Amino acid sequence: MFERLRKQFYHPKVVTLFISIIVFSMIYLFLDDENFSGVNYIKETIKKEVIKKKIDKEIEQDTFEAFSGLNYNVEKKLDETTKDVKKDVKKQDLVEEKIEVPIYQKLFDRIYFSIVTGALLGYGDIYPTTNICKIIAMIQSLFTISLIVY
């Protein structure tokens, strides 16, 4: 039984497909995150959380002042605080490029994309946005099709 399973999965085409997935994963790893859409979720989430924490902190201070007898319009103060925090974030250069994703997450995303492309599934949660990345994905897909056909 085990010998039968081994023979079934040790087909040269399956081994070639796995090797091609690993090779294309390494090629994708050399490409920047800007070449893909859907992989910047961590960066975007961190940036939003930092902005939210700053806004919440400013709102707490301003709301306390508003209810302590200074008769401020809370909604107006909220808008002003939001604008101020956005300016502060720009001053601090809190941009997506400065929030680095760990290399293991980047590798995992590239392997995932390579497997989805190599298996011709195309889920669409991560997809190429630049021409060079699209060309590499097309080459990988054509390679997989050639494995199936021949």
Walking along the chain (150 residues) 10 residues at a time, the average pLDDT comes out as 74 89 95 82 69 73 55 65 68 57 87 94 89 96 93
Same domain flag for 145 and 122: yes
pLDDT at 19: 94
Dihedral angle, C-alpha 76, 82, 86, 92, nearest 10 °: 110
Same domain flag for 2 and 29: yes
pLDDT at 93: 54
Q: Which domain holds residue 96?
A: 40-100
Measured between alpha carbons, how far is 66 from 59 in angstroms, rounded to an integer?
10
pLDDT at 40: 65
Number of Cβ within a 10 Å radius of residue 135: 11
Same domain flag for 150 and 107: yes
Same domain flag for 28 and 61: no
Same domain flag for 109 and 66: no
- Please give the tally of structural domains in the chain: 2
User: What is the DSSP-derived secondary structure letter of residue 121?
Assistant: -
Same domain flag for 57 and 46: yes
Same domain flag for 108 and 92: no
Same domain flag for 119 and 82: no
User: pTM for this one?
Assistant: 0.60
Boundary (domain end) residue, out of 83, 100, 117: 100
Concatenating the DSSP letter of every residue in 38-84 gives SSTHHHHHHHHHHHHHHHHHHHHHHHHHIIIII---HHHHHHHHHHH
pLDDT at 118: 93
Residue 108 sits in a domain whose CATH number is 1.10.287.70
Same domain flag for 45 and 95: yes
Same domain flag for 88 and 134: no
Same domain flag for 4 and 29: yes
Same domain flag for 46 and 2: no
